[in-house]
Amino acid sequence: MLLNSHPRLLACVGFGLLLASGAHAQQYQPTATGLRLNTDSLTVELQFYAPDIVRVLKFPKGHEVAKKSLAVVLTPAPGKLKYATRNGFISLSSASTEARLDAKTGQVSFFTAKGQPLVQEPARGSRFTAKTDLGQPTYRVQQLFQLAPGEAVYGLGQHQDGHLNYRGQKLTLKQGNMSIAVPVLHSSKGYGVFWDNYSTTKFEDNAQATTFDSEIGDCADYYVLNGGGTADGVVARYRSLTGQAPMFPRWTLGFWQSKERYKGQEELISVVKKYRSLGVPLDGIVQDWQYWGEDNDLWNSTEFGNPRFPKPQRMVDEVHQLHAHQIISVWPSFGKKTKLYQELAAKDMLFDFITWPRTPHVKVYDAFDPEARDIYWKYLNKNIFSLGMDGWWLDATEPDQLTPFDTDDDNETALGSFRRVRNAYPLMTTSGVAEHQRQTNPDKRVFILTRSAFAGQQRQGTMVWSGDVNSRWDVLAKQVPAALSLSLAGFPYWNSDIGGFFPSGEYPKGVKDPAFQELYTRWQQFAAFTPMMRSHGEFTPREIYQFGERGTWAFDSQEKYINLRYRLLPYLYSNMWQVTHNAGTLLRALPMDFPQDPKVADLSSEYLFGPAFLVRPVTEAQYVTRPDKNTPVPASFSQTKSTEVYLPAGASWVDFWTGQRQTGGQTVQRATPIDLMPLYVRAGSVLPLGPRQQYTGEKDGAPLEIRVYPGANGEFTLYEDENDNYNYKKGAYATITMRWNDKARQLTFGDRTGSFPGMQAARTFRVIVVDEQHGTGLGEDNAPAKEVKYSGKKTTVKL
């Protein structure tokens, strides 16, 4: 295959050169979206995709290249552009963004419409080193930027290094089990840069420059996202460019139980029944691998060949009858006896690198080939989706490679070498499943849990998890900045294995070790304030009843946070709508909301969960100490420990558990008994809470508790729809905006906007103003409340 002639790579379109400019006879031409310039050595194109989104393309002069982005979906609509030349520079301006191009060197600088600098290239900002790839000429491409002193930069995907601010850091952007490469740089100045390259890329920031250094590229290709000075603006521009995140089904927000692995359908069903008998809420159960059988030559057949799964249709049906949902593990690799392997091999659509399981040699399919994606879905649909399975666990979508040799990247894909496109593999394989499911059943929302991601993948209904992380306290601490970095790169949905995937090395006694129980309990508290609350791991069972009976500390703490999760469902689902409708962000690094507070610029131990909650996970052991890992000792609660919490400046904060109000801009020591994670609510928040329930939707007609946290004005928009279809895209949803006037102490429920089939025409709200006696913690029954009967019309209540 000739790489540069492949139709999927066509994009950098050439233009005739019309104007001469300057003594060096550099030439540029206005185009429909910007301009094209020839310097002595480079061709440069500026393309305005929107007034605040600008693409820069560069390639060596005389080497016309063609490339189509795999990530970008936006059709360019630049609006009115203004051209000017002065002192050897060409200025190209939209209503919000100015790009200045050095006519001699091709150096580009970006400014706001008011002339405030955003980001600029240094001299020789784009560098090309000739090389060959599968015998075809190409380049190693380096793109350099100059950042301002004190400017913080975030994003770049998910990495387990504990960093939030990547100034002064080095990072390899290469998909791996626990590393997610998303080359989106998010600046504290309110702009972003998306480096649109799919090969292994080294990022480095030092005193000289900030560099993206990619192994393969026919041109330098990046987008500047002018967020209008705000972090939310940067995320909104990224989503506009690469695709909006659709709504997940509401049931995905409940509690999920999983492990490696349920060895038969009766075991899986018994877990759901046990939760129901205990009265502990549960919405999801996950089936991991080997439902196809234990012969790895049958690896990932997608068929229920294991005799312990004799009636998969009955399994799915019984889970549904218990008011739960199920997803199932599927991989991109196949054993040689599977029908998938044989059909793909006959069409030369399998790679030959080593992946897990190593023996026998299973092979990964070419997800860059649309026909291969069709074949993959054919089997998923026939063997799994047709049963009524609710969603997908697409494991190892990096895909995982067990040998580090460069020859692995010599595998040829439909788009050239694997080396050229490797980081985009998770985007392509998840896209194939998502798009085919929508075609097969347009009414059921796509839900994909997956281990890796690339730019644009948020548009495919994917929930990313942090990989097979170890069960250690330092790893738990690193989950927070890992999640926030991915969120700042534009991905709204993330979670991690509660307790870590690998406890065996640290906790050989497993769930019977109080030390593991403490780690798991704290991890679960954190998980309750992430987009998906999911228990999973190998070696030791971790269903709630494995930790003891009700009345024991590990059981009771876990049940407390599962119940809290379910009470938060109206808040969570409404925030999911903000993600979809307004390019919102649920996991919010503190610099997003408090950019003027220098103390939060690199604070990686706390975050906001939606607009209301300040979350400070406990990430160190406090109550269990061990002389060694083989000697479990009981937990000691004789002395209550504490955790340091910084309350950001610019707001007042109310302790969720006590109602105590404190001013921002200070560090406090918060007592942290084993069942308490520090949670603070921003003053002015209007917080809707639902009833306790065993599964989402069980008590949709029950009154909602509306907690008001006084101290500032505020508002919240409650969102409701049919919960598991795409009718919301056609306008089938309803919103109620609640506004709190702090001075007047009035809460106003605005007119309901919209409607949907099955909507409750009348609602009951129980309104509570939170103080140190009322509306704290989980207690929903004892606080005095003002009852409001709401029929869809504007209603104001004085409190």
User: What stretches in the chain show pLDDT beneath 50?
Assistant: 1-25
Where does a domain end: 212, 242, 272? 242
- Bond before 399 cis per omega within 30 degrees: yes
pLDDT of residue 66: 81
Question: Is 743 within a domain?
Answer: yes
Where does a domain end: 242, 260, 278? 242
Q: Which residues are catalytic?
A: 395, 398, 468
Distance between CA atoms of residues 560 and 172, nearest Å: 40
Contact 8, 366 (CB under 8 A): no
Distance between CA atoms of residues 273 and 253, nearest Å: 20
**Which helix (H) or strand (E) segment is 569 a member of?**
helix 569-582
Q: In CATH, what number is assigned to the domain containing residue 741?
A: 2.60.40.1180
pLDDT of residue 780: 59
pLDDT of residue 9: 30
pLDDT of residue 26: 54
Question: Is 264 within a domain?
Answer: no
DSSP characters over 44-60: EEEEEEETTEEEEEEEE
Report the Cα–Cα distance between both ends of the chain, in Å, rounded. 72
Residue 733's contacts (CB-CB under 8 Å, 6 or more residues apart) are 577, 719, 720, 721, 727, 754, 756
Contact 349, 371 (CB under 8 A): yes
**Which helix (H) or strand (E) segment is 767 a member of?**
strand 763-769
Query: Which DSSP symbol is given to 190?
Result: S
Where does a domain end: 218, 242, 266? 242
- Classify 682 as helix, strand or coil: strand
* Count of domains forming the chain: 2
Contact 543, 270 (CB under 8 A): no
pLDDT of residue 782: 62
DSSP characters over 495-555: E--BT-SB-TTT-TTGGG-HHHHHHHHHHHHHHTTSS-EEE--SSS---GGGG--BTBHHH
Range of the domain at 180: 3-242
pLDDT of residue 405: 67
pLDDT of residue 272: 98
Question: Is 518 within a domain?
Answer: no
pLDDT of residue 406: 67
Q: Give, in order, the Cα–Cα distances in Å from 610 to each of 212, 228, 240, 251, 297.
A: 32, 21, 21, 19, 46
Q: Would the CA dihedral through 199, 432, 447, 244 be positive or negative?
A: positive
Strand partners, 43: 38, 59
Question: Is 108 within a domain?
Answer: yes
Contact 500, 538 (CB under 8 A): no
Q: In CATH, what number is assigned to the domain containing residue 174?
A: 2.60.40.1760
Burial tier of 620 (Cβ tally within 10 Å: 0-12, 13-18, 19+): middle
Distance between CA atoms of residues 184 and 228, nearest Å: 17
pTM: predicted TM-score of the whole model, two decimal places: 0.95
Q: Give, in order, the Cα–Cα distances in Å from 590 to each of 4, 87, 652, 739.
A: 44, 42, 14, 24
**Which helix (H) or strand (E) segment is 796 a member of?**
strand 795-798
Distance between CA atoms of residues 431 and 305, nearest Å: 27
Q: Which amino acid is at 612?
A: A
Four-CA torsion 313, 314, 320, 322, nearest 10 degrees:
-170
Contact 40, 124 (CB under 8 A): no
Question: Is 508 within a domain?
Answer: no
Question: Is 90 within a domain?
Answer: yes
pLDDT of residue 792: 98
Distance between CA atoms of residues 265 and 269, nearest Å: 6
Question: Is 234 within a domain?
Answer: yes
pLDDT of residue 3: 32
Question: Is 520 within a domain?
Answer: no
Q: Would the CA dihedral through 540, 541, 543, 545 be positive or negative?
A: negative
